[in-house]
Amino acid sequence: MKKLIAALVLFFATTLSMNAQEKELSVQELAKKDAVELAQLVGLPDTQIEDFFHLFEMKHEVLTNKNLSVERKTEMSHVIEAKIRGTLSPQQMATLEANTAVFDRLVGKATKTKTTK
């Protein structure tokens, strides 16, 4: 009986560990996709792509966390938008704002509306 319980505990621990790793990879993949899309849209140099990758990685980690409140996720969207505005030139920002669907998704507004429904 003890061996059976130990085997079940080991099984569930392994399963949870694998799920956590898969979630981490998907967050990184989403962040990379966002950074590359922004770079292609406004013409970013390679150094800024890496910076935006880390910013979007943080965004996806926060927005996919089910334990955080809607207010915290909304605040993250405001922080992301402020960081984007502070980093991009006025011409780059105008290009990004002209494509509202991409802009909303990059700052997390599209994700926010999906989670509130």
Alpha helices in 43-108 (DSSP H): 46-63, 70-87, 90-98, 100-107
With cut-offs at 50, 70 and 90, classify the pLDDT of residue 68. Answer: confident
Asked, for residue 2, whether it belongs to a domain, the answer is no
Look at residue 110 in the predicted model and tell me its pLDDT. 55
Domain count, the chain: 1
With cut-offs at 50, 70 and 90, classify the pLDDT of residue 6. Answer: low
pLDDT digits (tens, 9 = 90+) for 8-57: 566 666 665 555 555 555 788 999 999 999 999 999 988 899 999 999 99
Kindly state the tokens that stand for 37: 């899309």
Asked, for residue 83, whether it belongs to a domain, the answer is yes
For residue 38, give its domain range. Answer: 30-116
